[in-house]
């Protein structure tokens, strides 16, 4: 069983979505994440094992390479597509409660900002790590984040911004969240954001790369 899970991890890491996918060339014509996940379930492999030993392992590898500057945004997006293809087979087990989610992650690009590539990568990596992701999209005001916190009191919030002009809105959203929910965990990220800004606005955590956010969430779910 460990063999198929390692192959699944390799497909996720390399962005091999399914058998018809031409990328990567070295795996052309071979089963991808879609077929391997479906096959593992048919063979009786526990969904939790498929998630942890296949998807999470593969996303962690590509995340580490990205953090080290050895992988780039296009490769991250391909890996996320492969992970999403496999997750389609696992979602029914989360819905039924057979596999427990680690928590709820509410994420969105802040008000005034329409950029979503970084936010999408983080969302897909976090979902691949076993969290339920509520993706609010772009140009998200504080009220929408607060509404989701009301629905999911134990959720973790993720704020993304790409423009320096929208960093003020990130600060505003963190302030409004903490005014109503003191100490609520809020992660921030995006090209203009840094550790100093995170600390100044009272956010809980910042990472320059998605894998850092995933690793931090693991500590919150422990």
pTM for the whole thing? 0.82
Beta strands in the chain (DSSP E): 104-109, 132-135, 156-160, 186-189, 205-206
Q: CA-based Rg of the chain, rounded to a whole angstrom?
A: 18
Give burial (CB, 10 Å; 0-12/13-18/19+) of 176: middle
154-204: pLDDT as tens digits: 999 999 999 999 999 999 999 999 999 999 999 999 999 999 999 999 999
Go through the chain and tell me how many residues it has.
222
In this structure, what token pair is assigned to residue 140? 């998200």
pLDDT at 1: 54
100-150: pLDDT as tens digits: 888 999 999 999 999 998 899 899 889 888 899 999 999 999 999 999 999
51-74: pLDDT as tens digits: 989 998 999 899 889 889 999 989
Pick the CATH number of 1-100 from 1.20.1250.20, 1.10.3720.10, 1.10.10.1590, 1.10.1240.10: 1.10.1240.10
- In the predicted model, what is the mean pLDDT of the chain? 93
Comparing C-alpha atoms, which of 101, 106, 109, 155 is closest to residue 135?
A: 106
Q: Which residues contact 38 (CB under 8 A, 6 or more apart)?
A: 89
Domain residue spans of the chain: 1-100, 101-222
pLDDT at 73: 86
Pick the CATH number of 101-222 from 3.20.20.70, 2.60.40.1120, 3.40.50.280, 2.60.120.10: 3.40.50.280
């Amino acid at each position: 069983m460990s063999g198929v899970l390692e192959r699944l991890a390799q497909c996720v890491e390399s962005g091999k979505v399914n058998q018809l996918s031409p990328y990567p060339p070295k795996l052309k014509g071979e089963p991808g994440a879609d077929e391997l996940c479906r096959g593992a379930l048919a063979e009786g492999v526990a969904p939790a094992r498929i998630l942890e030993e296949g998807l999470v392992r593969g996303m962690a590898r590509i995340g580490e390479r990205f953090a080290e500057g050895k992988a780039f945004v296009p490769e991250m997006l391909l890996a996320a597509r492969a992970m999403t293809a496999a997750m389609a087979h696992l979602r029914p087990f989360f819905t039924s409660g057979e596999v427990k989610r680690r928590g709820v992650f509410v994420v969105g690009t802040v008000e005034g900002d329409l950029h979503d590539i970084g936010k999408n990568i983080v969302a897909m990596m976090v979902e691949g790590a076993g969290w339920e992701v509520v993706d609010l999209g772009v140009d998200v005001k504080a009220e929408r984040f607060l509404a989701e916190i009301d629905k999911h009191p134990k959720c973790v919030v993720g704020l993304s911004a790409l423009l320096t002009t929208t960093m003020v809105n990130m600060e505003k959203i963190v302030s409004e969240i903490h005014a109503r929910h003191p100490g609520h965990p809020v992660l921030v990220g995006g090209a203009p954001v840094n550790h100093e800004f995170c600390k100044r606005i009272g956010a809980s955590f910042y990472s320059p790369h998605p894998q850092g956010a995933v690793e931090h969430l693991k500590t919150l779910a422990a």
